[in-house]
């Protein structure tokens, strides 16, 4: 499915040394009467086969890596799996002292912070992608896309550092009092404004996933055929109507794929979230309250896990995180592929 649009290399045809096998290569050279052979010495088939198998082995290593990850996580989480079973994912009790482990608060924290990040990031990322592909003057285009990609190169821990010392005080002083005044009645924005908490985690995650969503959306928008745009414009549409009907509608599946890829990144993000989410395993309705995520409990407690069951429970959390991100990523890749690889753009509904 992936290589439909690419030219298929042909390796079967050109095998000159094999063609002259009855007499051997030396005999062939005599008959051809080449002045000086380009390759000195006999051409052997052994290095060719060896190289081919070495490369296949490298390809196999990628598959083996996946197997290794699954194996390590599965073996490591055995103990916890036998102790708690499926209950592990529904219990909200996380108590290392009494050896009681339930992952629900972490699952809740991961989902809420990631969804919050998506709500903030998606409109911004799509806006940037649309601006760069459809509206931007050509001279500015390269610089803008380079700058947004620069955001992706900043290490997670540096985002976290900035979030602790710059963003959190701003949220505490301005954003949280404002939200409490205007939207406090919903119950989502109540309680003391610590600054650190679910809201801060959502905002820093949003900043971190915008480049991913934006660059893949741009990739998808670029492959929408030019004549789709021209056709809509020829019917008398304004530029915005052209973008809405001719571009965004055609790229729908790819954009959804980009958003899901962003979600996958947000679910597994560790350092920046750990630094601002507050790290308390509680389920609270208010977004001002501190929370905890699957990734940050691993970051904080893995090295301190003393008991075997404690360590096993943490590895099971890793396993859960692994499976969720694998499913999310596989889904997203398939959706992006359906748009960017070879499929003709559907007609405007």
Are residues 335 and 260 in contact, defined by beta-carbon separation less than 8 angstroms?
Answer: yes
* CA–CA dist 278, 171 (Å, integer): 14
**CA 42 to chain CA centroid, nearest Å:** 49
Cβ-based nearer residue to other proteins, 143 or 348: 143
Nearer to other proteins, 10 or 185 (CB): 10
Phi/psi of residue 178, nearest 5 degrees: -65, -50
Helical (H) or strand (E) element with 340 = helix 308-340
Shortest distance, position 291 Cβ to other proteins, whole Å = 17
Q: Which two tokens stand for residue 94?
A: 């996380």
Smallest distance from the beta carbon of 238 to other proteins, in angstroms?
A: 4
- Determine if residue 342 is left, alpha or beta; phi over 0 gives left, psi from -120 to 50 gives alpha, anything else beta: left
Q: Least Å distance between CB 285 and other proteins?
A: 27
Minimum distance, C-beta of residue 146 to other proteins, in the bound complex (Å): 11
Q: Can you name the residues that pair with 101 across neighbouring β-strands?
A: 94
DSSP per-residue codes, 96-156: TTTTEE--HHHHHHHHHHHHHHHHHHHHHHHHHHHIIIIIS-HHHHHHHHHHHHHHHHS-H
Query: Which helix (DSSP H) or strand (DSSP E) does residue 58 occupy?
Result: helix 46-76
Contact (CB, 8 A) for 126 and 255: yes
Residue 341: both structure tokens together: 């690889």
Q: State the minimum distance, in angstroms, from the CB of residue 257 to other proteins.
A: 12
Contact criterion met (CB below 8 Å) for 253 and 335: yes
100, β-bridge pairs:
95
Residue 125 or 180 with smaller CB distance to other proteins? 125
Pairing of strands 100-101, 94-95: antiparallel
Query: Of 199 and 295, which has the nearer Cβ to other proteins?
Result: 295
Kindly tell me which of 283 and 299 has the beta carbon lying closer to other proteins.
299
Q: Rounded to an integer, what distance in angstroms lies between the CA atom of residue 308 and that of residue 246?
A: 58
As measured in angstroms, the least distance from the Cβ of 166 to other proteins is 6
CB of 127 to other proteins, least distance (A): 3
The smaller minimum CB distance to other proteins, of residues 190 and 200, is found at 200
Residue 66 structure tokens: 């996946």
CB of 180 to other proteins, least distance (A): 22
CB of 318 to other proteins, least distance (A): 5
- Sequence-ordered list of residues with C-beta below 8 angstroms from that of 239, at least 6 positions apart, any chain: 134, 135, 233
Name the residue with tokens 């060896």.
50
């Amino acid at each position: 499915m992936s290589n439909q649009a690419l030219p298929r290399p042909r390796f079967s045809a050109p095998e000159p040394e094999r063609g002259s096998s009855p007499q051997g290569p030396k005999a062939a050279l005599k008959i051809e009467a080449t002045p000086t052979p380009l390759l000195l010495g006999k051409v052997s088939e052994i290095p060719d086969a060896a190289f081919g198998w070495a490369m296949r082995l490298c390809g196999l290593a990628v598959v083996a890596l996946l197997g290794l990850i699954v194996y390590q996580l599965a073996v490591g989480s055995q103990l916890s799996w036998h102790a708690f079973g499926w209950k592990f994912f529904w219990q909200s009790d996380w108590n290392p002292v009494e050896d009681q482990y339930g992952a629900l608060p972490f699952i809740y924290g991961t989902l809420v912070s990631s969804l919050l990040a998506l709500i903030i990031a998606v409109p911004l990322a799509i806006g940037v992608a649309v601006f760069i592909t459809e509206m931007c003057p050509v001279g500015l285009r390269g610089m803008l896309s380079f700058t947004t990609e620069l955001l992706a190169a900043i290490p997670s821990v540096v985002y976290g550092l900035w979030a602790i010392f710059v963003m959190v005080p701003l949220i505490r002083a301005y954003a949280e009092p404002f939200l409490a005044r205007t939207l406090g009645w919903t119950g989502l924005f109540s309680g003391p404004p610590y600054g650190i908490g679910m809201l801060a985690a959502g905002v820093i995650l949003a900043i971190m996933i915008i480049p991913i969503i934006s660059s893949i959306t741009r990739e998808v928008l670029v492959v929408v055929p030019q004549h789709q745009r021209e056709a809509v414009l020829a019917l008398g549409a304004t530029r915005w109507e052209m973008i809405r009907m001719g571009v965004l509608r055609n790229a729908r599946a790819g954009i959804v794929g980009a958003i899901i890829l962003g979600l996958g990144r947000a679910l597994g993000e560790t350092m920046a979230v750990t630094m601002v989410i507050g790290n308390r395993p509680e389920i609270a309705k208010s977004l001002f309250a501190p929370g905890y995520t699957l990734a940050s409990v691993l970051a904080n407690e893995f090295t301190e896990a003393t008991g075997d069951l404690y360590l096993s429970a943490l590895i099971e959390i890793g396993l859960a995180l692994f499976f969720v991100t694998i499913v999310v990523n596989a889904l997203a890749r398939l959706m992006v592929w359906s748009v960017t690889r070879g499929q003709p753009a559907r007609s405007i509904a």
